[in-house]
Structure 1
Amino acid sequence: MSIRDLARHLNISIGTVSRALNGKSDVNPETRERVLVAAKEFGYVPNQSGRSLRQGTTNTIGFMIESSIETADNGGSFFMPVFEGVQSVFRRHQLDLVALLCGTDEDPGAYLNRIVGRRFVDGLIISATMRNDPRITFLLERKIPFVTLGRSATGGQYPWIDLDFEGVAATAVARLLKFGHQRIAIGVPASDINLGYVFLEGYRRALSANGISFDPDLVFPANSNEEGGYRVATAMLAQKQMPTAVILVNENMAIGLYRRFYEAGIHPGRDIAVVGFRESTQSRFLSPTLTCFRISLRDLGIKLAEALLSTMPAFASNYPQDSIDLVWPMELVPGESDGPWHGT
C-alpha cells in the first residue's frame, strides 16, 4: 500500500497522512491515531528512497570491516555481538545498520571514497584502524560523522573507542612474572594495524616496570589467526633458548600454537605458559583452557552507537559528549594454559 492508497482509504489528504506518520505536532491526536492504526493494519512501509531524497538523509549507518584483517580471523564471534549492541541503540531512532565489507583486493581508502561518494550512509563506524589511517583524514575533511573502533596516530578530533591492549599486556606480564617466567614472548600482528603497536608498547612498559629488559627476539609478528599461531610456535621452537611463556594478540592464534607445540611434544600449560587475548567459545574448549580476558561486546557496540550519534546534529541533544576517547575495560579469566615455570 502506498501513502496515496492510505490517504484515500482514510479520506484525508496525503500531506496529513505524511505529517501524522512523521509525528508532526500540527496533526490532531485522533487523526494521528487513525493513521497509525491503519498503517499498521495494512502493512504500510514508507518509501525510504523517496524520503531520503526529500530529507537529504538515508537513515542508514555503515560499519566498515576489512575482511583481510577481521572477518577471516574472527568469524562472527567478535562483530555479531557488537552489531547487536549498535543496532539496539539505532532502532530507537529508526536507523538501520549495514555492514560494509571491504575485500582483500581493494584499498580501504578507495572503498570508503566510493561509499561516501554514493551518499549511501549518514554516518560511519570504521574498524581496523591503522597507525596512519587516511580514512580518518578523509572523513574529517568532509565533515562526515564517524567513530573509530580503535585508536590511530592520525591527527584530528574525532571519537574513538579501543580495547584495553595495554591493560591486557600489563596484566599478562605481571601474572607470568609472578609464576616465575622471565623469557616472555609476545605474538603481534604482522601488519600496520595500530593495535599491534599499542599492544607491543604495553608489553614493553610492563617489562620495564618489573625490571625486565626488552628483547626484540621475543617479538613474533604473525597473522592473527590459527596459521599465525602455528608460525609463532615454530619460531619459538627454533630459538636456542626457547621462551617459557607467550602472550598472544588474538585468541584464535592459540589453536595453531597448541597444535605446533603438541607436535613437538611440548604441552601448553605444563611446558609452556600461554595467555590469549579475548575469551571466546574456542578458548573455553581448548585443552588446556586458555587464560584470556573477558569483554562485553554488546555493551561495546552500544557505546559505539552512542558515540556516533553524539556527532550527528539530529541526535546530539540526546547524547551530549564533548569528546570520546575511551579505552574499553577487559577482565582476566584464568584458565589452565599458564602457571608456574618448572624449568631450570
Structure 2
Amino acid sequence: MSKSTLKEIARATGYSITTVSRALGGFDDVNDHTRQVILQEAERQGYEPNLAARALQTQRSNTVGLITPLDGPRFPNPFFTEFVAGVGHTVGLAHFDLLLSTNVSHGSELDAYRRLIGGRRVDGMIVLRTRVDDERIQYLSRTGTPFVVFGRTENVDEYVFIDVDGEAGQAALTRHFIGLGHRRIAYLAPPSELMFARYRRHGFERAMQEAGLEVDQGLIIDTELTERAGAQAAKHLLDLDDPPTAIMAGNDQMAFAVMGAVQERGLRVGQDIAVGGFDDVSSAEHIHPGLTTVHQPIFDIAQRCAATLLLLIAGVAITNRATLIEPELVIRASSGPPRP
C-alpha cells in the first residue's frame, strides 16, 4: 500500500491541500467540523505526519520536558517510574516526545530549565515537587512557557496545577492509627522545603490534636525521601527507651525501609510495630505484609498533567486551573493495634 499524502486526503475530502495541512497541524483557523472530517479521512488512509516538517512549520519541537530529582543511588524510584510512564503514554498518543532530564542537585536545576527553554528544546514543562518559594515556576511564568504543575505553592492563582490533598490524606492515615489505639505515633516528615511536606505535617498534627493527643516532637524526624533515610530514622526510633508503636513514613519507599528495619529487630510489622506510607505504589500491595498507605492515582495524575499541558501548548485556554484530588486511605496488614 502506498503511503498516504496530503494530496490524497485533500482529494478524498474535497478540501484544499492547505486546509488539510493546517487541520492536521492543529492550527486554530480551521473549524471543528472541517478538522474532524479531515482527521477521520487521515486515519482511514493510515496517514502518518512528517513531524520534522510540522515542527519547522509551527516553530515547535513537539517535545514536552520533565526534570526529575536524583533520589539517592536508586533511580528512578517507584513514584517517578509510574509518573513518567503516565506522561509518556499521553504525549506519545499526540505524536509528541518526552524529554526526561535527571537533576543531580537542587542548585543546578534552574540551569537545566534554562537550557531546555532557552534552547527551544521543549514546547512546555511539567513541574514536580513544588517548593515554598519555587524559582522554577517563577522562571516559566516570566518566560511565557506553557507549563503544568503537579503540586502547589502559596500563589496558586498564577498557574495551572493538579494536586492531591496531602493534608486530608495524612490526617486520614493518622486517624486510622489512633482508632487502632496507637498514641505514640512517629512521623518521618519529607523535607520542609517541599510544599506537600507542609500540608501533610499539618494533617498529622491536626488529627492528633483533634483526638486530644500531644504531638511529641521527638517522634517527628525531618528526613529525605529515600530508603536509606527511612531505615536510619526507623533504627533511631526503635532504639528509644520508649519507642513508638506506629511509624508513618513520608512515602512508600521509606515505609518499605522502615518495615525492613522493624523485621531486622525480630519484630513483626503490623503486630509489634504498625507502619504506614504515602503514594500506594504498585509494590505496596505485594510486599509482605501489605502496606497500609494513602493512595495517589499517580498514573492518572500524570496523564492529566500531560493532557492539560498539550492543550496549553496548542493555545487552548484552561478554565479550570486548579484541581485538588481527594486521596484514598488503603488499609492493609502493616497496620494493627498496639500490643497490650
Alignment pair present for 1:46 and 2:44: no
Q: What is the CA-CA distance between 1:291 and the residue it aligns to?
A: 1.0
Q: 2:68 aligns with which of 65, 69, 76?
A: 65
Secondary structure at 2:158's aligned position in 1?
Answer: coil
- Choose the corresponding residue for 1:323, options 297, 321, 324: 321
Residue number among 42, 59, 79 corresponding to 1:56 in the alignment: 59
String of CA shifts for 1:283-317, please: whole Å, max 9, x gaps.
2232222111333333212321343345446333x
Tell me the TM-score normalised to structure 2 length: 0.81
Residues 258 and 275, structure 2, Cα contact 8 Å, conserved in 1: no
Q: Distance in 1 between matches of 2:203 and 2:276?
A: 15
Do residues 339 (structure 1) and 336 (structure 2) align? yes
Distance in 1 between residues matched to 2:51 and 2:259, nearest whole Å: 54
2-structure distance, mates of 1:204, 1:293:
17
Question: 1:88 offset after TM fit, Å?
Answer: 5.6
Comparing 264-273 with 151-160, greater Cα deviation is found at: 151-160
Map of 1:182 onto structure 2: 183
1:23 aligns with 2:26: no
Cα distance between partner residues in 1 of 2:277 and 2:48: 50
Q: Is the 8 A contact 1:73 1:252 kept in 2?
A: no
* 1:258 paired to 2:262: no
Structure 2 residues not aligned, in runs of 5+: 25-29
| Whole-angstrom distance in 1 between the partners of 2:8 and 2:202 | 67
Deviation at 1:9, TM superposition (A): 10
Matches of 1:99 and 1:203, distance apart in 2: 36
Task: Give the superposition deviation at 1:60.
Answer: 2.4
The residue that corresponds to 2:161 in the other structure is 160
- d(CA) in 1 for partners of 2:121 and 2:154? 28
Cα deviation, 1:149-195, whole Å, max 9, x if unaligned, reads 11223576111122232122111111111111111110122462222
The CA distance in 1 between the partners of 2:275 and 2:166, in whole Å, is 16
| 1:247-279 CA distance string (max 9 Å, x none) | 111111122212222222222111111111122
| CA distance in structure 2 between the aligned counterparts of 1:327 and 1:8, rounded to whole angstroms | 46
Amino acid at match of 1:287: H
1:277 maps onto 2:278 in alignment? yes
Structure 2: which amino acid aligns with 1:46?
Answer: N
Match of 1:206, SS state, is helix
The alpha-carbon deviation at position 142 of structure 1 amounts to: 1.4
The amino acid that maps onto 2:305 is L
Per-residue deviation, 1:111: 0.6
1:1-344 matches, cutoff 5 A: 17=17, 19-23=19-23, 40=46, 45-48=49-52, 50-68=53-71, 72=74, 75=77, 77-86=78-87, 89-90=90-91, 94-105=94-105, 107-153=108-154, 157-190=158-191, 192-309=193-310, 311-312=312-313, 314-316=315-317, 320-324=318-322, 326-343=323-340
Question: Which letter maps to 1:334?
Answer: I
Percent identical residues: 25
* CA-to-aligned-CA distance 1:49-80 (integer Å, 9 cap, x gap): x43333222232222322337x94653x4345
CA contact (8 A) 1:89 1:302 kept: yes
1:228-260 alpha-carbon deviations (Å, 9 max, x no partner): 221121110232211111111111112221222
My pick for the range that moved more, 110-119 or 97-106, is: 97-106
- Summarize the Cα distance change of 1:153–1:95 in structure 2 as closer, same or farther, 3 Å threshold: farther
- Give yes or no for contact 1:62–1:99 (8 Å, CA) kept in 2: yes
CA contact (8 A) 2:6 2:21 kept: no
Q: Pick closer, same or farther for the CA change 1:120–1:273 going to 2, 3 Å.
A: same
Helix, strand or coil for the counterpart of 2:189? Answer: strand
Distance 2:308 2:63 in 1: 16
Deviation at 1:101, TM superposition (A): 1.4
**Aligned equivalents of 1:37 and 1:170: distance in 2?**
49
Distance 1:185 1:52 in 2: 53
TM-score w.r.t. the length of structure 1 is: 0.80
Q: Secondary structure at the match of 1:214?
A: coil
User: Structure 1: which 5+ runs fail to align?
Assistant: none
